[in-house]
Amino acid sequence: MDKRENKRTPLLGDDFPKMKVETTHGVIELPQELSGKWFVLFSHPADFTPVCTTEFYAFQKRYDEFKEMNCELIGLSVDQVFAHIKWEEWIKENLDIEIQFPIIADTGAVAETLGLIHPGKGTNTVRAVFVVDAEGKIRIMLHYPQELGRNMDEIIRIVKGMQTADKNNVAMPANWPNNELIKDRVIVPPAKDVKTSKERLEKAKAGEFECYDWWLCHKKL
């Protein structure tokens, strides 16, 4: 029997699994050492590969934006730490940018725990993204095929959107903050009872927010 059958891949809302990992910045205990911070853990198929190299360059170019959101970056692949180090050196020497975030050197255990090994792709990790909040909860999981590089601006939007939703008890519309209907406004959580549904339109008349109907209301932050 495949051992993976007895293991459950983490789901949205789960605690990020506790693990001690070897990285290019030394040994790190996750998620404990990043308690109070958000972090984006992203896996890549392998070092010294073209798509992955463009992704690391793009992540580093936006690293300050992530840090401004109290969010750290952590890379991961099933490669030894010296391979990560040599790849970082190549990127610095040839692309004139220094990778400042840690990269996990995985033996396969982390990838197995997080469900990152695709049975049809050998031992390479898929392109996955885990967005973990300041409480250590998994809030977003994204998976990409090896052929498609990730959009870093979308990952920034994801973190910013989730933090905004948490802080203001709202939801974010499609393509926020550039939604086709309500632009940069946010969605007021739907009414869950008759009394609240009736109050919604009254509050809209008072200018507290705007509504297309009692179940679709929005406001400016």
Model pLDDT, residue 4: 43
**Residues 153 and 78 grouped into a single domain:** yes
Rg (C-alpha) for the chain, rounded Å, is: 20
- Domain of 11, in residue numbers: 3-168
The domain tally of the chain equals: 2
Cβ atoms of 32 and 17 within 8 Å: the answer is no
Helix, strand, coil % (nearest 5) of the chain?
35, 25, 40
Cβ atoms of 43 and 125 within 8 Å: the answer is yes
CB count, 10 Å around CB of 86? 14
Q: What is the pLDDT of residues 81-140, one digit of tens each?
A: 999 999 999 999 999 999 999 999 998 899 889 988 766 655 567 899 999 999 999 999
**Residues 70 and 43 grouped into a single domain:** yes
**Residues 112 and 210 grouped into a single domain:** no
**Residues 174 and 66 grouped into a single domain:** no
Cβ atoms of 21 and 52 within 8 Å: the answer is no
- Token pair in block for residue 177: 């903050």
pTM score, whole prediction: 0.91
**Residues 132 and 145 grouped into a single domain:** yes
**Residues 154 and 204 grouped into a single domain:** no
Catalytic (active-site) positions: 52
